[in-house]
Structure 1
C-alpha cells in the first residue's frame, strides 16, 4: 500500500500533525506501507533533511490561506501512484485544493486513490465558541458553507485520534454528514532512556533552577494552553508554601505579546522560561521533572502529554484535553477543570499525595501510554481500520 499525505507544513514548530507523521511513518514502513508527503514548505527548508521518507516541498505558499499554486499540477501528475490520499487538517488550501484535484481526476475516469481527511482537532466546537476567536469563527463558518463542508462530506472518510474528538466533531457545524468516521488512534514511539549524563543539556537552558524536583509545562506559549492561569495559581501557592518545586514553562511563543505578558507575570526566581526545548534537552526535562502540567482550554490529543506518560511521569491536566478519560481511568494523572480554581485544586491535590502515591501514579502513567498511545500499535491499527472500511 502507498499513502500520500498532504499537509500544509512539515515545520516541527507547527505542532502535532507533522510530528504525528514522523512518528507513524517509520512504523508503517516496517509493515510494508510506503508513505510520501507533499507540503507547502520551500524546497530549501532544512528541517526535513533527517526524515527517512520522501517529502515533496512544493512551496512557497501564499497568504493566510496558504494557497500553493503548484499543488494542482503536482497532484495531477502523481496522485494516481497511490492507494490512499490522506489530507491533514482543515481551513488551509491543502484541504480543498486536494479534494478538487481528486474530484477532477475521478471525473476523467482516472484511477484515483481513496481519499481520507484527518482533522487533527480542527472540527472541535471550541474554535467556534471561544470568545477570543470570534472573527476566526465567522471566517470558518463561511469556509464551512462554501468549501470545507464539501471536503468533509465528500471524502471517503474521516480519521480521528480518539473517541472524544470523533464525538465533538458532530457538534460544530450543521450539515455535517461524512461518509464514514473512524477512530484510528494516535501514538508516539518509546522515548530515549533516562540518562543522567544528558541532564546538563536541560540545565544549561535553566541556569537558575535548583537540582531539586520541578514541575514541567512543555507546549506552545499560547492563550489556549492556560499558561497565564497556571502561572498565577502557582505563584499564589508558592506564597503559601515556599517548599513546592520550581515551575518550568518551556515552549515556543515567548516572543509573542501573550508570551511576554506571561513572562512579566511569572517574573519570580522559581519560574523558568527556557524557550523551545528539543532533543536531549527536551527528553531530560521530561525524565527529571516531578510531574507534567498542561491545563489547556482545548487539546485535541496532546502529544506532550503522551510524551510525559511515556517517560513515566504523572500528568496534571484539564478535562479539555481529549484523552483525559483514558488517563484518569488508568490512574496516570490528575484531572480538573480548566479554570483558576480547577488549576489550583490540581496543584494542591498533587502535593497532598504521598511520595509512594506519586511514584505509583508514574508507573500507571507508563501503562496508560503502552495500552493506548504506543505508536507501534496505533500506526498499524490505522491501516487496518482503513482497509476494513
Structure 2
C-alpha cells in the first residue's frame, strides 16, 4: 500500500504525537508499505532546520516538510495544501491518515480526499475527550461548522489509541466507523546501556534521594497542580525524596508551576531539567525511582509505557486513557484527580519495596504484550486493508 500520514508538526517539543507517528510509520514501512509523512517545519516560535518540500528518508519513511505560515496556531501552510491537492488528484496514495482535529492540515487533507475519492482516517489525538472538547468551545464550534464535522462524518474510520478514548468520544460522533490501535515502543531503543548515576552526577541535588519523576509537557492538562500539592505532603514526611520535572515548556506554564512550588516552600527539593531526549532521556529514566502522571486528560500517555519498560513503578490518574490496562495487569497505581489520593499512592510505593517490584514486573509484562510497534503496525496494516476492501 501507498500510505500518507499528515500531521501539523514533528518537532520533539510537541511530545507524544510527534514521537508516536514516527514509530507508527516505521512499523508500516517494515511491512513493505510505501509510507510518507507530510508536515510543517514548525518548532515553537521558530522552525526546524530542514529542507522544504524535499523527500527526506528516515528509517524507511519519506518525510516532506512544508513552511509554517501565519496564523501559526492553526499549523497553516499553503505549500502543504498545494502539494496535497496535486498528489491526491493524481491518486499517489491509496489511503490517508490524518492526525488531530481543528487544524489546517486536517481541513485540506480531508477536503481533497473527499474531492478525489481517496479513503481517509482521522486520529483525534484525544481532542474528543470532554475535558478538552468543551475547552474553547465557541471557537471550536465555528471550526466544526466550517469543516471539522464534515471531516469526521465522511471519514472511513476514526483511529483511537485506547478503548477509553473511544468511549469518551462517543457523544460527539455521528457514526461508529472506528478502530482501536494503541501506540507502541521499539523495546530495543530502551535497552541502550546507560551508566547508572549519570543523571544524578549532572544534578547533584538528587544524590542519595529517591527521584519522583514527572516526564511530560508542562501543560495545564497534566495535573501538575495535583502533583505539587501531593509531593509537598510526601516531602513533609520523607527527607529522602526529590521531584524531577522533565519536559518542554511550550506555553510558559512552568512559571505557574514554580509559583506553586515556592508557595509550598519546597523549591530546593524540585529540579526542572527542560526537555531531555536520546541518552539523556534514558539516563533520567534509569536513575529515577517512581514515575507520576496525574493528568486531567491524556489520550494515551506514551511516557507511561516508556517508564514501565525502563523499570519504574508508575502512578497515573484515571484520566490517562490506558488506566484500564494498568488495572487489569496490576501494573501501577491509578488514582482520581485528587492530590490526597495521589500522595497516598506515592507513599505506598515508597514504603513497600516488594510491592513496588511487583508492579514494575507487571508493567514490563504489559508493555511487552500490548505495546510493541511490531504488533501495532500489523494491526494498523490490517485495518487499512479492511477499509480499502470495503
Match of 2:96 in 1: 85
In structure 1, the residue corresponding to 2:35 is in which secondary structure? strand
Kept in 1: contact 2:97–2:120 (CA 8 A): yes
In structure 1, the residue corresponding to 2:206 is in which secondary structure? coil
1:240 CA drift (Å): 2.3
Kept in 2: contact 1:40–1:61 (CA 8 A): no
Match of 1:262 in 2: 257
List structure 1 runs of 4+ shifted beyond 6 angstroms. 47-50
Match of 1:181 in 2: 178
Kept in 2: contact 1:157–1:178 (CA 8 A): no
Match of 1:251 in 2: 247
Is 1:239 equivalent to 2:242 in the alignment?
no
1:351 CA drift (Å): 2.6
Provide the C-alpha distance between the structure 1 equivalents of 2:76 and 2:250, rounded to a whole number of angstroms.
28
Q: How does 1:1-389 map to 2 (within 5 A)?
A: 1-41=1-41, 45-46=48-49, 51-52=58-59, 53-63=61-71, 64-79=73-88, 80-106=91-117, 113-129=118-134, 133=135, 136-171=136-171, 173=172, 176-178=173-175, 180-190=177-187, 191-193=189-191, 195-197=193-195, 199-200=197-198, 202-203=199-200, 205-243=202-240, 245-253=241-249, 256=252, 258-266=253-261, 267-353=266-352, 355-389=353-387
Deviations 1:53-82 (A, max 9, x none): 221112223212222212332123212111
- Over 3 Å counting, the alpha-carbon distance change for 1:70 and 1:198 in structure 2 is farther
Which segment is superposed worse, 151-160 or 233-242?
Answer: 233-242
TM-score by length of 1: 0.89
1:345 CA drift (Å): 2.2
Kept in 2: contact 1:117–1:158 (CA 8 A): yes
1:196 CA drift (Å): 4.5
Provide the C-alpha distance between the structure 2 equivalents of 1:54 and 1:280, rounded to a whole number of angstroms.
25
Deviations 1:323-360 (A, max 9, x none): 0010111111101011222222222232342x222112
Provide the C-alpha distance between the structure 2 equivalents of 1:213 and 1:242, rounded to a whole number of angstroms.
9
Which segment is superposed worse, 335-344 or 65-74?
Answer: 65-74
In structure 1, the residue corresponding to 2:383 is in which secondary structure? helix
Q: Which runs of 5+ in 1 are unaligned?
A: 107-112
- Over 3 Å counting, the alpha-carbon distance change for 1:220 and 1:208 in structure 2 is same
Q: Which runs of 5+ in 2 are unaligned?
A: none
1:42 CA drift (Å): 6.3
- Over 3 Å counting, the alpha-carbon distance change for 1:383 and 1:337 in structure 2 is same
TM-score by length of 2: 0.89
Kept in 1: contact 2:101–2:148 (CA 8 A): yes
Provide the C-alpha distance between the structure 2 equivalents of 1:378 and 1:183, rounded to a whole number of angstroms.
10
- Over 3 Å counting, the alpha-carbon distance change for 1:376 and 1:77 in structure 2 is same
Deviations 1:300-333 (A, max 9, x none): 0001011111112221000000000101111111
- Over 3 Å counting, the alpha-carbon distance change for 1:252 and 1:74 in structure 2 is same
Provide the C-alpha distance between the structure 1 equivalents of 2:121 and 2:256, rounded to a whole number of angstroms.
40
Kept in 2: contact 1:2–1:82 (CA 8 A): yes
**CA-atom RMSD in angstroms:** 2.2
In structure 1, the residue corresponding to 2:63 is in which secondary structure? strand
